[in-house]
Amino acid sequence: MCGYDFGLVRRRVKFSIVIPTYNEAGGIEKLVTSLGDLFAAKGLDGELIVVDDNSPDGTGAIVDALAGRYPVRCLHRPGKMGLSSGVIDGWNFARPESTALGCMDADFSHDYTIVPKLVEAIASGTYGLAVGSRYVRGGGIENWPLKRKITSIIACAMAWPLTPLRDITSGFLLVRRDALDGIVLDPIGFKIGLEVAAKARYGKFIEVPYVFKDRVVGESKLNGKEITNYLKQLRRLYTGRVFPNRSKATAAPSLVKRAPEVAAEPAAEQRA
C-alpha cells in the first residue's frame, strides 16, 4: 500500500470496530474521541461498538454519554463473559450496512492510527483480512520483559500450522463480513484473531505493522485461566482440522447467523 486512496475507502467500505471492555473507565473516553476524530479527518464511515461487561467503574455509562457526539454505541452485558464472546456479540450487534467487522483493545496497546490502513486494505478488494501485526517488518513491542516476548512468540508458533499469519495472536483486525458467513467462532478465551484467521473465508490477508505498547491505563486481563483457555482453543482448532465432524459437535456456537451465498477462496498468505 503505497498511499491512501481515501476516495476508494469512502465509496466502498462501511465498517464496525468492536472494543470489549471491563473496568476501562480510565481510558475509554480518550480512545473513543481519538477514533471518532480520526474517522472524521479521514472521511471514514466507521462505527465503534463498546461491549461492556457491567464494569463496576462505570465504563459503560461513559460510553453512553459519548454516543450523541461520536459514532459509538454500547452493548451492555450483565457480567464478565469473556473477551472473545464480547467481540462476537459486538459483531452480531453491528449495523447491518457494515461490510467489514473489526476489533481492538481498549487500553491503547493497539495503535489506533493504523486503522485507516486496515480499512484501505479491505477497500482495495485484494484482501479480505487486515491484521495489525507486531511480527512483520516495521512492527514491534515496547515495554515488555524478555520472558513475555518469548512467551508471545511461542504462542504464535504453536498456531502457525493453522495459518501463515505471523502475528496469529493479534486481536487487532478488520475482516470482510461475508468472510464470516456460515462460520462457527468459538468464544473461548481472548484470542478471537486466531479463530478468524483459522476459520474465516477471507481469501488473501495482509499484516500491517504497528508497535504494540503495554497498556497505558487499567489492569491486564492476562492470567493463568486465559493461558489455559488458549491451549484449549488450540486443541479444538487442531481437532477440527483432523476430525471436522467432532469439532462441530464440541465447539460452542456463536457467529455467524447468515448462511453463505457464495463460497470465497481459501486463505492465502500475503505479508505486508
Q: List beta partners, residue 176.
A: 100
Q: Residue ranges of the domains in the chain? A: 6-250
Which parts of the chain are beta strand (E)? 14-21, 45-52, 72-76, 100-103, 129-133, 140-142, 173-176, 205-209, 211-213
Distances (CA, A) of 77 to 11, 33, 105, 229: 34, 22, 17, 21
Give yes or no for a contact between 133 and 167, defined as CB atoms under 8 angstroms apart: yes
Look at residue 123 and give its three-state secondary structure. helix
Q: Is 198 exposed, middle or buried (0-12, 13-18, 19+ CB in 10 A)?
A: buried
Give dist(CA 96, CA 81) in Å, integer. Answer: 24
Architecture of 6-250 per CATH?
Alpha-Beta Complex (3.90)
Quote the cell numbers at residue 185: 467462532
Tell me how many degrees the CA angle 267-182-54 measures, rounded to the nearest 5: 105
Which residues of the chain have a pLDDT value below 50?
2, 247-254, 256-272
Quote the cell numbers at residue 92: 452480531
pLDDT in tens, 210-228: 999 886 555 555 556 777 8
* Secondary structure letter of residue 204 according to DSSP: B
Q: What is the pLDDT of residue 32?
A: 98
Q: List beta partners, residue 133.
A: 209
Q: List beta partners, residue 205.
A: 129
Q: What is the pLDDT of residue 216?
A: 57
Q: What is the pLDDT of residue 9?
A: 54
Q: Phi/psi class of residue 32: alpha, beta or left (left: φ > 0; alpha: ψ in -120 to 50)? A: alpha
Give dist(CA 128, CA 30) in Å, integer. Answer: 29
What is the reported pTM? 0.83
Phi and psi dihedrals of 127, rounded to 5?
-120, 140
Q: What is the pLDDT of residue 72?
A: 98
Distances (CA, A) of 228 to 53, 155, 189, 223, 235: 21, 12, 8, 9, 11
